[in-house]
Amino acid sequence: MKRVVVTGMGALTPIGNDVNEFWSNAVAGKSGAARITKFDPTLFKNQFACEVKGFTPEKYLDRNEVKRSDPFTQYAIYVAAEALADSGLDIATMDPFDIGVIWGSGQGGMSSFEEEVKAFATGNGTPRFSPFFVPRLISNMASGMISMKFGLMGINYTAVSACATSNTAIMDAFNYIRLGKAKVFVTGGSEAPITEASIGGFGSMKAMSTRNDDPQAASRPFDIERDGFVMGEGAGALILEEYEHARRRGARIYAELTGAAMTADAYHMTATHPEGIGAARGMQLAMAEAGINAGEIDYLNMHATSTPVGDISEVKATVKVFGESPARLAISGTKSMTGHLLGAAGAIESILCIKAINTGIIPPTINTTNIDPAIPAGFNIVTKEARAQTVNVAMNNTFGFGGHNSIVIFRKM
């Protein structure tokens, strides 16, 4: 099997509109949560979210591209452009069929769907829809638009596994490169879910925090007073490249992607398995593929959405794999800062794992002041402030509605 490395990254998040700003604010423990500005949330139970701020799609898209695309696609092109520039790839000199795009989005063009259906429902009954309605809506359009924007003609499709989506996309790209089906992939995920239907829908499930009086402290993974996740939006992109191809062109290599795995809980539509059986097996399979044991992992970025049930089931899975007092394993839940980006979560959290490897700094879990007594005392959770610690191997967990578990592992080169 061929080796796969990361040679470029791009990020658009509630705490930073590029990788450097995102990383700097994550290390500083900055929260991206505030009252929703995309619509009037007054009548909603959940009136806050982690929105992208100061986004200007015109940085990488022309006026027609903006008009014809949903925000989730705009986010995708934006971070893909940053990642490709960061990689130093000279696309013009490459066979375009050697470069693919595997992208992810859990919801796709939710805002475009809402806008068109509302216009139809409040109109005179005449079925008049924009010719761009379907292209703005469908989830695969982000991968398609990335390929069109940059002339990438290799394997191209979209993965969907709810909140495990972008790790699934990363895993697929990893496997295609290992099999020799492509030399380079643009991969990751984007999500633009801060809409009335999405906020209302998740709110009706009682899945989100209702701390409307203190949004910045609402996402508190592992804390005894956690009451649900905070919605986030944005995108993250990785350039995955076959190692020898990267080495020959003298590329800067951020890390090696060494293991990835998926399992299913086969348990419930929305709840994770209470004992974390599927998640634990996924972590074990990813480590087996990476050729490492649990004692070699230095940092685990947990899915840690700040839901009462989800956090504990993930802790139980982690205990099955690492034990109750893992000696060297540092843990953080960075959704406490970014909110939950749904299908884009794995991509931005993979970037944090890679940056932790490169810098020897582990980003914190903010807002966690009273750790749930159900969590073993030996768990080394990085709270309040970032921590300086050597990171040679990092694992990123993502879990999605439907019981999807997707795990990736990165190693220092």
Residues 276-329: tens digit of each pLDDT: 999 999 999 999 999 999 999 999 999 999 999 999 999 999 999 999 989 889
Mean pLDDT of 258-286: 95
Q: Are residues 215 and 237 in the same domain?
A: yes
Q: Is 253 a domain residue?
A: no
Of 245, 303, 353, 404, which is the active-site residue?
Answer: 303
Q: Are residues 47 and 135 in the same domain?
A: yes
Q: Give the domain extent around 376.
A: 260-411
Q: pLDDT, tens digit, for every residue of 158-197?
A: 999 999 999 999 999 999 999 999 999 999 999 999 999 9
Asked if 404 is an active-site residue, the reply is no
Cβ within 8 Å of residue 25, ≥6 positions away: 15, 16, 337
Q: Is 10 a domain residue?
A: yes
Residue recorded with tokens 């699934």: 168
Q: Are residues 217 and 309 in the same domain?
A: no
Q: pLDDT, tens digit, for every residue of 83-119?
A: 999 999 999 999 999 999 999 999 999 999 999 888 8
Among 178, 213, 248, residue at a domain's last position:
248
Task: Average the pLDDT over each of 36-50, 105-119, 298-312, 380-394 and give the range with the smallest value.
Answer: 105-119
Q: Is 312 a domain residue?
A: yes
Q: How many domains does the chain have?
A: 2
Tokens representing 245? 């191809």
Q: Is 147 a domain residue?
A: yes
Q: pLDDT, tens digit, for every residue of 112-133?
A: 999 988 888 887 767 888 889 9
Mean pLDDT of 232-255: 98
C-alpha–C-alpha distance, residues 8 and 408, integer Å: 17
Q: Are residues 273 and 225 in the same domain?
A: no
C-alpha–C-alpha distance, residues 366 and 384, integer Å: 5
Q: Is 255 a domain residue?
A: no
Tokens representing 365? 């879990």
- What percentage of the chain has pLDDT greater than the value 90? 92
Q: Are residues 244 and 264 in the same domain?
A: no
Mean pLDDT of 54-63: 92
Which helix or strand (DSSP H or E) is residue 363 part of? Answer: none
CB atoms within 10 A of CB 248: 9
Q: Are residues 215 and 84 in the same domain?
A: yes
Classify 236 as helix, strand or coil: strand
Q: Which residues are paired to 400 by β-bridges?
A: 404
Decide if 72 contacts 156 (C-beta within 8 A). no
Asked if 273 is an active-site residue, the reply is no
C-alpha–C-alpha distance, residues 253 and 240, integer Å: 10
Asked if 340 is an active-site residue, the reply is yes
Q: Are residues 152 and 265 in the same domain?
A: no
CA dihedral angle for residue 304, residue 20, residue 73, residue 216, rounded to 10 degrees:
40
C-alpha–C-alpha distance, residues 4 and 327, integer Å: 29
C-alpha–C-alpha distance, residues 289 and 292, integer Å: 8
Which phi-psi region, left, alpha or beta, contains residue 317 (left: φ > 0; alpha: ψ -120 to 50)?
alpha
- Spell 382-402 as b/e; 16+ CB within 10 A means b: bbeebbeeebbbbbbbbbbbb
C-alpha distance from residue 366 to each of 217, 313, 359, 389 (Å): 8, 20, 20, 18
Q: Got the DSSP string for 156-216?
A: EEEE-BTBTHHHHHHHHHHHHHHTTS-SEEEEEEEE---SHHHHHHHHHTT-B---TT-GG
C-alpha–C-alpha distance, residues 329 and 83, integer Å: 29
Of 245, 273, 340, 404, which is the active-site residue?
Answer: 340
Among 248, 281, 296, residue at a domain's last position:
248
Q: Are residues 271 and 380 in the same domain?
A: yes
What amino acid is encoded at 391 in this protein?
V
What CATH number has the domain bearing residue 286? 3.40.47.10
C-alpha distance from residue 312 to each of 223, 229, 333, 341 (Å): 10, 14, 13, 20
Q: Is 115 a domain residue?
A: yes
Q: Are residues 162 and 58 in the same domain?
A: yes
Q: Is 66 a domain residue?
A: yes
Q: What is the pLDDT of residue 118?
A: 87
Of 163, 245, 353, 404, which is the active-site residue?
Answer: 163
Q: Across all residues in the chain, what is the average pLDDT?
A: 96
* E-state strands within 13-162: 33-35, 48-50, 99-104, 156-159
C-alpha–C-alpha distance, residues 309 and 302, integer Å: 14
Q: Are residues 292 and 406 in the same domain?
A: yes
C-alpha–C-alpha distance, residues 42 and 66, integer Å: 29
Q: Which residues are paired to 300 by β-bridges?
A: 331, 395
C-alpha–C-alpha distance, residues 88 and 344, integer Å: 24
Among 188, 221, 248, residue at a domain's last position:
248
Decide if 182 contacts 98 (C-beta within 8 A). yes
Q: Which residues are paired to 185 by β-bridges?
A: 100, 240
Q: Are residues 27 and 88 in the same domain?
A: yes
Decide if 173 contacts 240 (C-beta within 8 A). yes
Q: Is 195 a domain residue?
A: yes
Q: Are residues 177 and 290 in the same domain?
A: no
Model confidence band, residue 69 (pLDDT cutoffs 50, 70, 90): very high
Tokens representing 253? 């290599």
DSSP-assigned letter for residue 93: G
Tokens representing 94? 């490459």
Closest CA to 286 of 202, 171, 145, 184: 171
